[in-house]
Amino acid sequence: MSRKLTPRQVIARSYPTWDYAMADRLIAWLQECGYEIVEKETVHRDASLVPNEPETAASLERTH
């Protein structure tokens, strides 16, 4: 059985002491910049922001 962590917990655990204050500041900053944290299985309300097909390694090699 897997344990689900909230986005706040995931960010906080990346700091040595599980810094929830820093996680809150980071989430607030991301929201201020226009980013939104969404669950993995949910559909984003503006599907046009998500590419239809994932880029393949071959297409990345041609662009560089």
The answer to whether position 31 is within a domain reads yes
Q: Quick one: what percent of the chain has pLDDT higher than 70?
A: 59
Q: Residue 2: which pLDDT band, with cuts at 50, 70 and 90?
A: low
The answer to whether position 16 is within a domain reads yes
Q: pLDDT tens digits for 8-37?
A: 999 999 988 889 999 999 999 999 999 888
The answer to whether position 20 is within a domain reads yes
Q: What share of the chain is helix, strand, coil (3-state, %, to 5)?
A: 45, 0, 55
Global confidence as pTM: 0.56
The answer to whether position 1 is within a domain reads no
Domain limits for position 24:
7-63
**Would you state the structure tokens that stand for residue 39, as one six-digit string?**
């669950």
The answer to whether position 2 is within a domain reads no
Q: Domains in the chain: how many in total?
A: 1
* Length in residues, the chain: 64
